[in-house]
Amino acid sequence: MLFQVIVNGLLMGGVFALIAVGLTMIHGVMKIVNFAQGDFLAMGLFMTYGLYAFMPEHSMPYWLILPVAAGMYLFGMIVFRFAIKRVLNTGDSNYILLTIGLSFMIQNLLQLIYGADFRSIPVSDTFRMGSWEFLGAMFPISRIVAFAAAAIFVVFVNWFLTKTDIGRAMRATAENRAVAESLGIRGGRVYVTAFAIGTMFAGISGLLISPVQMIFPTAGVPFGLVAMSAMVLGGLGNIKGALLGGLIIGLVESFTSTYVNIALAPVAVNLVLVLVLIFKPYGLLGKRRRTA
């Protein structure tokens, strides 16, 4: 059973990590927390649901990854340009109110368009409930695919930030925007790219969980909360930290749910968070920001 518990935790943790990576990217560059990240995941779910109508019956929704990613990237750009941009550098509370308002707006807009019905992607039962057995543990197929895709994206974003010009520009802007701009980096462009990528990751997370997750307007709320915990646990603005945070939260939830009580899983997660922050105030891999 121990191996099954670890498998359960890691597979779900991978999805948490992907949402958290998007969130931490936004925070890392712009120093804002996007309280609507969970609702962006819900948008990814609905976008997957809508586009799935054009696919053959029982096909896997993962083929929709490009249009969903593109759509959510564009959506992120639009949200940034018309909303987020206006509250940057205007104080600590403005972006909080804005993103919370955005969260409510998205939930109600989704309900207005799609109604309150619970929907689901009609994948085949074989895929949805199928699993592989290995060393006595069951590996649900849909979860493995989600985990693998999440892992690929996290590796991709790490490469993007370290090996590409725009990635390096984002890291430079995150460290000091004024200096970065004095070196010719366009801060506005970096911000919109970071926000759009963060939005895109949330939407992709929605697609990855769509085979097993019912689709309804508030479906993303619990995932958004977990992502925030993972982001803080790993260290604000740290991609590897977000990955680690997501996996740890998945494991904590799994162990607590199986060996103690599922009702205590959120308690355990927050307890771990508090304990980590007591000893490491900037998160597991976070660092104090350098000041002149």
Partner 1 sequence: MKKKWLISAISVVVVLVLALAACAPATQAPAAPAAPAAPAAPAAPAVPAGGGALEPVRFLVFAMMTGPNAESGRQVQMAAKTAEWYINEVLGGFPSLGGRPIHLNVVDSTSDAAQAPMPFEAALQAEDYSVVIGNSNSSIALTQLPIVEAHQIPMITGAAANIAISQQGSSFSFQPAATSRAFIPTQLDFLEYYSGHLGIPVKELRLGLIFADDAWGTDNANNTRQQVKERGLNLVFDQSYNVAAFTDATPLITALMAADVDVLLPSSYPADLSLIFTAMGALNFNPLVVGGGAAMTWPSLYADLGDAVNGLTSVDSWVSDQTGAREHEGWQVMNDWYEEQFGEFIPGQAGPTMFSIMLAYSAIERIGSDDPIAIRDELRVIDETTVDWFKIPNGVGDFDNVTGLNTGARAVMMQWQNGRPTAVFPPEYAASPLLNPDTMKPFE
Residue 278 is a binding residue for partner 1 (CB under 8 A):
no
Q: Which residues contact 270 (CB under 8 A, 6 or more apart)?
A: 229
- Residue 198 and residue 35 in contact, taking contact as beta carbons nearer than 8 Å: no
- 37 vs 44, 268, 290, CA distance in Å? 11, 23, 27
Residue 80 is a binding residue for partner 1 (CB under 8 A):
no
Residue 131 is a binding residue for partner 1 (CB under 8 A):
yes
Residue 271 is a binding residue for partner 1 (CB under 8 A):
no
The smaller minimum CB distance to partner 1, of residues 249 and 276, is found at: 249
Give the long-range contacts of residues 57-64, CB within 8 A, separation 24 or more.
Answer: 57/122, 58/122, 58/123, 58/124, 58/127, 59/123, 60/123, 60/127, 60/145, 60/211, 61/121, 61/123, 61/207, 61/210, 61/211, 62/145, 62/149, 62/207, 62/208, 64/207
The site string for partner 1 over 210-229 (x = CB under 8 A, - otherwise) reads: --xxx-xxxx-xxx-xx---
Closest CA to 75 of 240, 227, 191, 192: 192
Pick the binder of partner 1 from 66, 92, 93, 125 (CB under 8 A).
125
- Residue 124 and residue 59 in contact, taking contact as beta carbons nearer than 8 Å: no
Q: Which helix (DSSP H) or strand (DSSP E) does residue 133 occupy?
A: strand 131-134
* Whole-number Å distance between alpha carbons of 92 and 33: 10
Pick the binder of partner 1 from 71, 198, 206, 241 (CB under 8 A).
71
The smaller minimum CB distance to partner 1, of residues 5 and 96, is found at: 5
Quote the least distance from Cβ 274 to partner 1, whole Å.
Answer: 17
Residue 54 is a binding residue for partner 1 (CB under 8 A):
yes
Kindly tell me the number of DSSP H helices and DSSP E strands found in the chain.
Answer: 13, 2
Residue 53 is a binding residue for partner 1 (CB under 8 A):
yes
Quote the least distance from Cβ 103 to partner 1, whole Å.
Answer: 13
Pick the binder of partner 1 from 95, 238, 254, 284 (CB under 8 A).
254
Quote the least distance from Cβ 288 to partner 1, whole Å.
Answer: 31
The site string for partner 1 over 172-211 (x = CB under 8 A, - otherwise) reads: ----------------------------------------
Which residues lie near partner 1 (CB under 8 A)?
1, 4-5, 8-9, 11-12, 46-47, 49-54, 57-58, 67, 71, 74-75, 77-78, 81, 108, 111, 113-122, 125, 128-131, 138, 140-143, 212-214, 216-219, 221-223, 225-226, 253-259, 261-263, 265-266
